[in-house]
Amino acid sequence: ILNVEQSPQSLHVQEGDSTNFTCSFPSSNFYALHWYRWETAKSPEALFVMTLNGDEKKKGRISATLNTKEGYSYLYIKGSQPEDSATYLCATRGGNTGFQKLVFGTGTRLLVSP
């Protein structure tokens, strides 16, 4: 069974702060790692798909790194803005659970105060 864990569970920062979250997952039979941003009352929005060890992805002020050998991914937000307030979910595919299903962590809830 794949267990995906995210930390911290929640985070409250001030506008302009930079922040980062962690996603940990079993490294065996890794296939892909997904990051989503989920604002309240909206659909989860796909941020990144990461597949190779050492991958780095960037979208505006948000970036992510991947270490498949040790089983973790970091998501960074530079200069947080109130509109970054959301729950950030990571999910993996692979292992003995099949390559179709996403296995999610419980998310990191970010609140950015003006």
Partner 1 sequence: DAGVTQSPTHLIKTRGQQVTLRCSPKSGHDTVSWYQQALGQGPQFIFQYYEEEERQRGNFPDRFSGHQFPNYSSELNVNALLLGDSALYLCASSLGTGTQQETQYFGPGTRLLVL
Shortest distance, position 15 Cβ to partner 1, whole Å: 27
Residue of the chain from 18, 46, 59, 69 that contacts partner 1 (CB under 8 A): 46
Quick check: 4 binds partner 1 (CB under 8 A)? yes
Q: How many CA atoms lie within 13 A of 79 on its CB side?
A: 2
Integer Cα distance of 110 and 38 in angstroms? 10
Integer Cα distance of 46 and 83 in angstroms? 16
Quick check: 10 binds partner 1 (CB under 8 A)? no
Quick check: 64 binds partner 1 (CB under 8 A)? no
Quick check: 21 binds partner 1 (CB under 8 A)? no
Integer Cα distance of 61 and 82 in angstroms? 13
Residue of the chain from 11, 77, 86, 103 that contacts partner 1 (CB under 8 A): 103
Structure tokens at 108: 């990191």
